[in-house]
Chain A
Amino acid sequence: MKTGGGARRSAWAFTLLVITLTLAGAFIALGVLPADAQDAAKEPAYRQFPVFGSRLAVWAIAQLHLNFAAFILGVPIFAVIIEIIGWRTGRAEYDWLSHEFVKLTFAAFSTTALLGAFLLFLLIGYYPKFWNYMTSIFFPTYWVYALLFFAETFTVYVWYYGWDWLTGSKKWIHVSLGVLSNLFGTAILFVANSWVTFMVSPGGITESGALKGSVWAAINNFTWMPINIHRLIANIVFGGTIAAAYAAFRFLAAKTDEERARYDWMGYIGNFVALSAFIVLPFAGYWLGREIYAFNQTMGITMMGGFMSWLWIIQAILIGVLFIGSNYYLWLGMERIPGSERYRKYVPYMLMILAAGFIVWATPRSMVVTLDEARAMGGTHHPVLGFLGVMSAKNTAVNLMILTTFLSYVLYRRANRISTKSWVTTGMAVQWAMFGIAAVIVTFYGVYGYFVESMVRIGFSVYQVGAVLVAIAVIMIVDVFMFRGARSTGAIRWGTIAPRSQYVLILLAVTFTWLMGLMGFARSGIRQHWHVYGVMRDTSVEAVTPALGYASNVITLVTIAFFALVMFIFWLGGLGEKGKEGAQAHGRAAPVIAGGGNGKP
């Protein structure tokens, strides 16, 4: 192992090299771009990428870039929160965990930048006219993006390499760096989102497509903020699932009980983070869908009722898998918690609600039927099951699934604890009452939605979501106070969870990545034959919207490529640990977790 000073000097030298290269690249790109844009006017509108075609090349690289970007933006958000928990509570295992998470991010950082640069080259080279137009609108934001990228790179590098340096009384500086890198990262996401959302819902331009006033109107277009919120939450879910999958991989490959315990705990935290954010993700997605519909009816119908409607059936299946998988992992995890046996009786009921919700969500409005079946049903809409194919039913199902998942977590949380508070009976009654009231409100508005006009029905979703969120908040507040100072029935036996639980973590990561690709295709594909919807038409030979089967195949292949790259990068990152004692990387001793801490889940 290197001495602390030597390692730090190397780290600084490496940091400076990366920053210099990043700055040089950014300024060269910014200097060249306007010239490129002028030249593009004399050049053909399109060039053909060899063998695969330009669209496929841009699609694959854009999806890969987005996957990596989501990971490196999502993980630091919860990594810094975990670091703050470790700092304030003085628990070293949280500091170690935060460092582990940032280490994963760090390994993927340069790949993200590389893919981003590759995507830029593809757009400039193969879609010069389109890129020229985007530059004419968004050129000022390129500077902001480059500066933000520099700022983020700088803070992340100092955050990572300063872990052992900024300790003790200087820990607050280290935590601030983590917070700062997250702010820069989020700002980068918002800038890039403005370009993407402008292509879907352009704003701030004249009829000929020229910028009307300030670039802000183009940035703050119809779908910008919904995408910002949706992606921010989704990035946390995605980061959580990938980090949990990494931990699962390490758990399965572990050779000692200590190592197994450590990665069992890491996988649990990763999944907990993913699950917490996942619970609010459907609400953000619903808002985005509603804004797309409000911006343009054609796009809204193309997405939800038109030829892309079948994507939502696939989405329903994948989200059903995510819900059941997350709950299943919690139930398996309860086996390593002494005292959890008393809650096992709830599992079949929770599973029934989840399966029923899954069935409702996956029921298509317009069914795949033979001629005989259509005649028996009186059309492609089933007179009974057809009622499950509309939004009232879907919203009800997803809200009840969210409540059930939250119940799973509440039971897991209290599995080895018995409240010693005198008001425990009242507290429990309040919690169950909140679950019941929320379920009744969700179901009532779900049924009532069939008897009112569309606009009123859409408004009901707000009441349903509100009821669920209020219930979650109240139940959680009661739970925290009720189990403060609770009697423990035994410490959690970290590392003893069934190995199949770890395959579930990997399945969740793959499912979520695939889902991101599919939904990204839906958002992008609703533009159909437009580069910028209603403003700049796609006149290339590949202007057709791909069939869903073809799109699914491409997305699947890119997802496989993403995981292959992730495994390679994590393997590369792990090489640094080879030859070092135990799990000591960067001078950091891995804590012993088995049966660990005070047994709190």
Chain B
Amino acid sequence: MSFLRSRFVQAVVVLIVCFVLFRFGIQPPAPWSVITLYMAIILIAILAFVSSDADSWRSFLTPLRDTVVKPERRLLRMVLMIVMPLLLGYYAYTQAAAKPQAPPELRAVHPAPPASIQFRGKEINIQGIDNPLRKDQSAFKQHVAAGGEIYIRNCMYCHGDNLDGQGHFAHGFSPPPANFVDPGTIAMLQEAYLFWRIAKGGPGLPKESTPWNSVMPAWEDRLTEDQIWQVIMYLYDATGQQPRRWESH
């Protein structure tokens, strides 16, 4: 097992182990874009390690140099000179060839809200407004119950009865509906933001980062202002999340 002492072999082994871990150790499988990013970082780290002192760097380079210059490695050299361009060519082909599915797309995490919106002819400030129904704490349970009913009647089919984005229709959409249980969705946002998203839906998304591919309806035509605030209260209550508060200065 003396070959394992070679820095080059060690580097290759670490690289392969990391790849196997990223590819098969993460479930559901991580997207290729992320695995590529991770492997690039691992490669940088490995190169930094093997070259961080002279002995290690020499040990790493020796098999490479031997393969390029030593006469007894002529056969290996020939094989590599044929195989490597072929592999690179195959990689280029896989990247350039047309596929039956749409290419991956960059998607913004949260679209930026406008400062204010028109809701049935009334201007509502999205910047700085709190849920007006929370002022009367005695009616909290009543509003949450009403919100729950609205959710089940209108939202559950896409966002799911567990509010996890796994509703009946969810698998027909790309991207799928938002998962409210995820700490990266409503937990990071003020209630005013949710009001804007529910009221204006997909058609009200901002121009930047288009196309959005959102099938979220604009609920302002079907729900009243209070009903939207009620369903928002239900979302936070049912998921156990807290809405983000405005910073005071």
Q: Are B30 and A385 in contact (CB under 8 A)?
A: yes
Q: Are B109 and A376 in contact (CB under 8 A)?
A: no
Contact partner of A454 (CB less than 8 A), chosen from B107, B127, B188, is: B188
**Bound form: Cα–Cα A491–B26 in Å:** 49
Given A364-B34, A450-B183, A370 contacting B103 (CB threshold 8 A) = yes
Given A385-B26, A498-B54, A328 contacting B48 (CB threshold 8 A) = yes
- List residues of chain A with CB within 8 A of the CB of B208: 302, 306-307, 528, 545
Contact partner of B184 (CB less than 8 A), chosen from A307, A321, A352, A365, is: A365
The secondary structure that dominates the B interface is loop
A599: interface (CB < 8 Å): no
Instruction: Scan residues 103-144 of chain B and give those whose CB is less than 8 A from a CB of chain A.
Output: 103-115, 126-128
B95: interface (CB < 8 Å): no
B230: interface (CB < 8 Å): no
Instruction: Scan residues 429-484 of chain A and give those whose CB is less than 8 A from a CB of chain B.
Output: 450, 452-455
Instruction: Scan residues 30-77 of chain B and give those whose CB is less than 8 A from a CB of chain A.
Output: 30-34, 37-38, 41-42, 44-45, 48-49, 51-54, 57
Q: Are B244 and A454 in contact (CB under 8 A)?
A: yes
**Bound form: Cα–Cα A598–B171 in Å:** 70
Stretch of B78-86, B146-154, B174-182, B216-224 with 4 or more beta carbons under 8 angstroms from chain A: B174-182
Given A297-B126, A367-B34, A384-B26, A454 contacting B51 (CB threshold 8 A) = no
Given A335-B54, A390-B188, A453-B245, A368 contacting B104 (CB threshold 8 A) = yes
A17: interface (CB < 8 Å): no
Contact partner of A381 (CB less than 8 A), chosen from B57, B106, B184, B190, is: B184
**Bound form: Cα–Cα A298–B111 in Å:** 9
- What's the count of A-B pairs with C-beta under 8 Å? 189
Which residue, B28, B127, B179, B193, has most C-beta atoms of chain A within 10 A? B28
A375: interface (CB < 8 Å): yes
Contact partner of A369 (CB less than 8 A), chosen from B31, B127, B128, B247, is: B31
**Bound form: Cα–Cα A310–B209 in Å:** 11
Q: Are A297 and B184 in contact (CB under 8 A)?
A: no
Contact partner of A359 (CB less than 8 A), chosen from B38, B187, B244, B249, is: B38
Q: Are A381 and B45 in contact (CB under 8 A)?
A: no
Which residue, B41, B57, B175, has most C-beta atoms of chain A within 10 A? B41
A421: interface (CB < 8 Å): no
Which range holds the interface residue count of chain A? 35 or more
What's the nearest-Cβ distance from chain A to residue B242, in Å? 3
**Bound form: Cα–Cα A298–B114 in Å:** 6
What's the nearest-Cβ distance from chain B to residue A597, in Å? 24
Q: Are A306 and B28 in contact (CB under 8 A)?
A: no
Nearest-CB residue, chain B, relative to A344: B53
A90: interface (CB < 8 Å): no
Contact partner of B247 (CB less than 8 A), chosen from A294, A332, A347, A545, is: A294
**Bound form: Cα–Cα A375–B28 in Å:** 10
Contact with A along B172-213 (1 / 0, CB 8 A): 001110110011100110100100000000000010110000
Q: Are A324 and B188 in contact (CB under 8 A)?
A: no
Given A362-B41, A450-B183, A371 contacting B102 (CB threshold 8 A) = yes
Q: Are B127 and A309 in contact (CB under 8 A)?
A: no
**Bound form: Cα–Cα A320–B41 in Å:** 9
Given A306-B110, A321-B44, A331-B52, A368 contacting B31 (CB threshold 8 A) = yes
Contact partner of A376 (CB less than 8 A), chosen from B29, B34, B165, is: B29
Q: Are A331 and B111 in contact (CB under 8 A)?
A: no
B94: interface (CB < 8 Å): no
Which residue, A305, A370, A379, A534, has most C-beta atoms of chain B within 10 A? A379
A62: interface (CB < 8 Å): no
**Bound form: Cα–Cα A301–B114 in Å:** 10
Q: Are A306 and B112 in contact (CB under 8 A)?
A: yes
B166: interface (CB < 8 Å): yes
A296: interface (CB < 8 Å): yes
**Bound form: Cα–Cα A302–B205 in Å:** 13
Q: Are B52 and A347 in contact (CB under 8 A)?
A: yes
A351: interface (CB < 8 Å): yes
Contact partner of B175 (CB less than 8 A), chosen from A302, A335, A379, is: A379
Contact partner of A379 (CB less than 8 A), chosen from B33, B37, B176, B188, is: B176
- List residues of chain A with CB within 8 A of the CB of B247: 290, 293-294, 455
- List residues of chain B with CB within 8 A of the CB of A141: none
B27: interface (CB < 8 Å): yes
Contact with B along A342-378 (1 / 0, CB 8 A): 0010011001101100110011111111111111111
Q: Are A373 and B29 in contact (CB under 8 A)?
A: yes
- List residues of chain A with CB within 8 A of the CB of B126: 297-298
- List residues of chain B with CB within 8 A of the CB of A369: 31, 33, 104
Contact partner of A306 (CB less than 8 A), chosen from B27, B53, B111, is: B111
Nearest-CB residue, chain A, relative to B128: A297
Interface pairs A-B: 7 shortest CB-CB: A453-B242, A305-B110, A454-B244, A355-B45, A368-B33, A302-B112, A307-B209
Further contacts, 15 of them, CB under 8 A, given A306-B108, A389-B109: A296-B127, A306-B209, A307-B112, A324-B48, A335-B53, A354-B45, A355-B44, A363-B34, A369-B104, A373-B32, A379-B175, A380-B107, A384-B27, A453-B187, A455-B244
Chain B residues within 8 Å of A, Cβ to Cβ: 26-34, 37-38, 41-42, 44-45, 48-49, 51-54, 57, 101-115, 126-128, 165-166, 171, 174-176, 178-179, 182-184, 187-188, 190, 193, 206, 208-209, 241-245, 247, 249
Q: 23 A-B residue contacts at CB 8 Å?
A: A222-B249, A297-B128, A297-B193, A302-B208, A305-B109, A305-B112, A321-B44, A332-B53, A335-B53, A347-B52, A359-B41, A367-B31, A368-B105, A372-B101, A374-B176, A381-B179, A381-B182, A382-B30, A387-B184, A389-B109, A450-B183, A453-B187, A455-B247
